[in-house]
Structure 1
């Protein structure tokens, strides 16, 4: 099914947060660890950054709170991906795949070209 979305460009952090929610709801710390794992530790979300992003994504209807649980005396809010959020992840994934494919094709063509000759002008 193709969704007609007004998908504003997603930041890499927002994309990874949405992707981390694609398979199951997660709480804040779970999202921080999933985003770190998915980015091979390149992206380390701070709590303030995460919750600001979750607020924006919730406002756009891409995620929503699912439930609150108390664990070890601490309240944990779990978030889940909405259908609109899943469609946004799908659309962004397809966009990135298309761009990566185009880049690979250009690199392959470049590799087939003769190396440029460096001439000395004198």
Structure 2
């Protein structure tokens, strides 16, 4: 039996989605996720770097170039091929799950009177 990979958490999903258009640094990822969700998802810095570390260990993102801005190191992350595939699988899983609810008539789950 093939072991299925667990679904991405919401922050992981939006971190990967933020990297679809190219490498970003931490603050750029936070802002992209916030914009993509209309401000609903605000990823805390600790959450971001913990998630990036896990995603990097899983081979879904990789740390790339680093630059110094205002005396601080700014590391850029990019999506790997495996990361793009995982993001696509998760988007499809969510689409299929939503279709079960959205495609159902409003009274489909109601008990007969």
TM-score interval, normalised by the smaller of the two chains: 0.7 to 0.9
**Structure 1 residue matching 2:97: 3-state secondary structure:** helix
Residue aligning to 1:69: 67
Show the counterpart of 1:43: 41
After TM superposition, the score normalised by the length of structure 2 is 0.88
Which ranges of 4 or more aligned residues in structure 1 deviate by more than 6 Å? Answer: none
* Structure 1 gap ranges (5+): 118-122
Unaligned runs of 5+ residues in structure 2 are none
Q: 1:112 to 1:12 in 2, by over 3 A?
A: closer
In structure 2, the CA distance between the partners of 1:28 and 1:111, relative to structure 1 (3 Å rule), is same
Q: Alignment RMSD, CA only? A: 2.2
Q: In the alignment, what sits opposite 2:12?
A: 14
Considering only CA atoms, is the larger Rg found in Structure 1 or Structure 2?
1
Change (3 A) 1:77 1:110: same
Q: Give TM-score, length-normalised by structure 1.
A: 0.82
User: Is residue 106 of structure 2 the alignment partner of residue 110 of structure 1?
Assistant: yes
CA contact (8 A) 1:64 1:81 kept: yes
Partner in structure 1 of residue 98 of structure 2: 100
What is the CA-CA distance between 1:6 and the residue it aligns to?
4.6
